Chain A
Amino acid sequence: MLIGGGLAGLAGMAEVSAIQGRLRTSLSPGYGYTGFLISWMASGHPAGILAAALLLAVTTAGGDILQMTQALPGSVVNILMAVTLFAVLGSRSGAR
């Protein structure tokens, strides 16, 4: 749990220093929940985490581009992500 907390703190620092470049109140738009979902998709496998994180990162970045070019609200990315997740979750039927 200690290491986990440390890593989460590191993620927050990366978002502040590398992406936003400043401190704001609504800094991580649901990244914590996304992290849980990525870890679940990867079933706790480190290599799987890389793949799953990349998949969701591409979705998020794609959503940003959609927002800029198609005049859609920023939250559309949440729909994209949810649909991706629904597909993964639904296709894993009875896996456990």
Chain B
Amino acid sequence: MIAVLRSLLSGAVLSGTPLLYATLAEVIGERAGVVNLGLEGVMLIGAVAGFIAAVETGSAAAGVVAGALAGALFNMIFAFLVVTRRANQLATGLALMFCGVGLSALIGGRYVGSRIAGLPDLPIPGLDGIPLLGPVLFRHDALVYAAGPVAVLVWWALFRTRWGLVLRSVGENPTAAFAAGRNPYLVQYQALFVAGLLGGIAGAHLSLALARTWAEWMTAGRGFIAVALVIFSKWQPLRAIAGALLFGGAISLQLQLQAIGVPISPFLLDMLPYVLSLVALAAWGGARRHAAPASLGRVFQRSG
């Protein structure tokens, strides 16, 4: 029993990590007023670029860097369309997702089935021996340890720096930010670049640490769960930690139940994280009115 609980919680932390990076990516974008439904595609590009870099160089760290940069560059396509060309954000996001699915499958085709050592687990000496808590929290890879601090860093950057203040003002009222001498377009480009970095890292963690292999559409909807998690966490980076752990727990529970052979249809169990998303949105979705950036999804035009 304790062994099941241990792998359940440890799995929650591990599965929650890419969700947290992806949610932070979406929070930054949406705080600047841009909804990116293409996060799924950004994650896939990060996953495939990270995996290929890790195979070719033999270094998982190079994979993480490559995944982050590829995600950021890929997100610039989205930025160009929605910021410079002022295209509809929802439609462009979905198109970006399709592009990511196709492009990642095309460039990753030769690498299907390749195996890598992946990101090494780094047990923290002294702490990993604590019963239950040790294996759950202190026997993971570097990206898991970094996830919490990155969330705090994003919170600090958004709420305690001038850059974050300007970014949030663009998300609330770009016209006022423009009148105050800021360039909303530049700020949104910056936000989407950082979001692409984090989305790419989320994908790279999937292929380098969780699966340690590459498969077509391996994100399996996690990008969309992250978009839902942003609403769940009310656009707050620190609340995103709790949300990511909860949803990571749902994914982990599904895997554990399958592993111990509970006689429930695996398809029913696959639904678990998504059913949880729907329930969470039904319960807390109404909070959107108060918490969402006021100009989320609107197109800013310089003259108006």
Contact = CB atoms under 8 A, between A and B. Distances in A.
B301 A94 contact: yes
Interface in B51-80: 77, 80
Given A89-B81, A90-B85, A93-B86, A79 B102 contact: yes
B268 to A, nearest CB: 12
B132 interface: no
B86 A85 contact: no
B88 A40 contact: yes
B271 interface: no
Given A30-B101, A79-B99, A37 B91 contact: yes
A94 B85 CA distance: 7
Given A25-B267, A75-B102, A93 B88 contact: no
B86 A30 contact: no
B228 to A, nearest CB: 15
A92 interface: yes
Given A92-B87, A93-B86, A86 B103 contact: no
Contacts of A30: 98, 101
Determine the main DSSP class of A at the interface with B: helix
**How large, as a class, is the contact surface on chain A?**
20 to 34
Contact of B102 (A25, A41, A77, A96): A77
Interface residues of B, number: 26
B106 A73 contact: yes
B128 interface: no
Contacts of A90: 80-81, 85, 87
Nearest to A95: B86
B101 A75 contact: yes
B87 A33 contact: no
B94 A37 contact: yes
A78 B106 CA distance: 10
B141 interface: no
A31 B193 CA distance: 29
A96 B86 CA distance: 9
Given A30-B101, A89-B88, A93-B86, A36 B106 contact: no
Interface in B93-131: 94-99, 101-103, 105-106, 109
B157 interface: no
Contacts of B216: 73, 75
A13 interface: no
Contacts of A53: none
A94 B99 contact: no
A11 B267 CA distance: 22
Interface string A67-87: 000001111111111110110
A83 B101 CA distance: 13
10 tightest Cβ-Cβ pairs between the two chains A and B = A78-B102, A82-B99, A75-B105, A79-B102, A85-B95, A89-B87, A82-B98, A90-B85, A78-B98, A93-B85
Interface of A: 25, 30, 33, 36-37, 40-41, 72-83, 85-86, 89-90, 92-94, 96
Interface of B: 77, 80-81, 85-88, 90-92, 94-99, 101-103, 105-106, 109, 216, 267, 299, 301
Given A33-B98, A73-B105, A83-B99, 4 more contacts: A79-B98, A82-B98, A85-B92, A89-B81
